[in-house]
Amino acid sequence: MVDVKKIGTEQRNEKTKDIDIASTGEILKLINDEDKTVAFAVEKALTQISALVDQIVTQLKKGGRMIYMGAGTSGRIGVMDAAEVPPTFSVDPSVVQCLIAGGDWAMNHAVEGAEDSKELAYEALEKVKLNADDVVIGITASGRTPYSVGGIEYANKLGCVTGCITTSPNSEIASKVKYPIEAITGAEPITGSTRMKSGTAQKLICNMLTTATMIKLGKVYQNFMVDVQATNEKLIKRSQNIIVEATGVSFAEAAEAIEKFGSVKKALFAIITGTENQKIIDESLEATSGHLRKAIEKVKNE
């Protein structure tokens, strides 16, 4: 039997006890005041987040994958973060993925009992052929969701790097992973509604994990997403603008360079280094595992 009184995210918020009789403006102010505390809770976990990022980078360089596991709101946040990585950084969808209790149906519907099944977690990880090079990250506000905990237990048996994102102190899942992230957000404005502050903290942390990982893997030059997939008009214009901003050439010249060299990253390398030879461009980027700044510095120092 679960004792919810012992779960941090199930505590009652003293500041919002009269939220049901507050005016609309007062309700929004109470929620906003609580939201303001979330970033500070995440800040306290930055050392933990950093440690996990470094491990993810190491494993992805080995060919491993980053796999979130969660149920309900936590799972949906993981799915959302994983879905944004391929178009932003041009990586295969398998590299960052999320297994949500109840499967794809659970993205838009409540799947009763799914989050309470460790067996479903085992089956999901078997289906994606989990291996020791992968990183498994359980996302659970309470820190005790059986689906997420079960996934971690399975991953530990295979020798995977394991981490968690939880917003409750002294949680079960944090005790089982190698790299816990504990952003203690405290009582929710509506008691137990972890889609609120807890969900916000989880979203911030997922953003940090994937973004910092992709930066470390060379998917960003300065602060530009140089591996962006130009799949619509907005992204085509963004691709051109990246080159204009980074080099000072015109939009026409940027468009021509992308067409000629096949990608934003290669076009930038060519313009910045003055290199027109496609073979040299390819070899230079390959030598630095696609890290544009390192490839440019390497050429300039030769």
Catalytic residue positions, numbered: 84, 115
CA distance 53 to 179: 10
Q: Which residues of 48-82 are buried (b: 16+ CB within 10 A; e: fewer)?
A: bbeebbebbbebbeeebbbbbbbbbbbbbbbbebb
